[in-house]
């Protein structure tokens, strides 16, 4: 019986569903899912559930997450990341690392976040990203999330590297946009890498091309 979990280092440029389809082909089993979407621009830890473990989906998505991301100041896009179309640009020469660190403090703790239109959430039965592709924007209610820590790792204008530990339901692209707005200039996420889900770390992950049945990990461990 093929069942268990796979910790996969998702490459850039493919969807989380593409990873699932690849695992299905490699393992010859249909019952495969993932626990927490990564956007095509994102890389890093994706937990893939195989067989009966797919029933444990909710346990995995409730874990806290850790990301390393790059915010590019001065340009905003219609998707909030580098794959989107630029919709606005603003000067950022006045921004200093001290200003960034001060602004980032506002986002630590329990905060409200409005989900982006380019997300997998549903509105009247339709995914928001499918509506966004048609140029449709709908009202979204803010949701409570928690940012446990947000640390600025590098400032090399216009790029700001930061590391964040956050609760489930946190959208890093929206966090980046909100930080840019708090700084008085716009911004978008140009790189994002998930490095942890709960106690699972990216160092434990395997490449997608290396997937095989012998690498399935039992769950619960």
| Torsion angle defined by CA atoms of residues 171, 113, 179 and 77, in that order, rounded to the nearest 10 degrees | 60
Q: Please choose, from the candidates 11, 7, 57, 66, the residue with its C-alpha nearest in 3D space to the C-alpha of residue 36.
A: 57
Q: What is the CA radius of gyration of the chain?
A: 18
Find out whether 119 and 36 touch, Cβ atoms under 8 Å. Answer: no
Max Cα–Cα distance, the chain, nearest Å:
60
Strand partners of residue 155: 160
Q: Which H or E element spans position 131?
A: helix 128-133
Find out whether 170 and 147 touch, Cβ atoms under 8 Å. Answer: yes
Separation in Å, CA 32 to CA 24, 27, 199, 200 = 6, 10, 22, 19
Annotated active-site residue in 9, 39, 81, 178: 39
Query: Is 39 tagged catalytic?
Result: yes
- The three-class DSSP label of residue 209 is helix
Q: Report d(CA 191, CA 71) in Å as an integer.
A: 7
Catalytic residues: 39
């Amino acid at each position: 019986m093929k069942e268990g979990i796979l910790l996969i280092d998702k490459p850039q440029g493919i969807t989380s569903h593409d990873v699932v389809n690849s695992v299905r082909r490699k393992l010859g089993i249909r019952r495969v899912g993932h626990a927490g979407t990564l956007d095509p621009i994102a890389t890093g830890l994706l937990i893939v559930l195989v067989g009966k473990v797919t029933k444990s989906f909710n346990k995995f998505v409730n874990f806290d997450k850790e990301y390393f991301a790059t915010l590019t100041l001065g340009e905003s896009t219609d998707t909030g990341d580098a794959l989107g179309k630029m919709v606005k640009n603003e000067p950022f020469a006045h921004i200093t690392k001290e200003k960034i660190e001060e602004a980032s403090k506002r986002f630590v703790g329990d905060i409200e976040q409005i989900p982006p239109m380019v997300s997998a959430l549903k509105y009247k039965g339709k995914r928001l990203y499918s509506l966004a592709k048609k140029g449709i924007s709908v009202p979204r209610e803010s949701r409570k999330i928690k940012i446990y820590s947000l640390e600025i790792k590098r400032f090399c204008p216009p790029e700001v590297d930061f590391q964040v530990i956050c609760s489930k339901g946190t959208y890093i692209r929206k966090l980046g946009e909100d930080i840019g707005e708090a700084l008085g200039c716009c911004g978008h996420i140009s790189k994002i890498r998930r490095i942890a889900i709960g106690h699972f770390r990216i160092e434990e992950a395997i490449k997608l091309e290396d997937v095989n049945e012998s690498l399935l990990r039992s769950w619960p461990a």
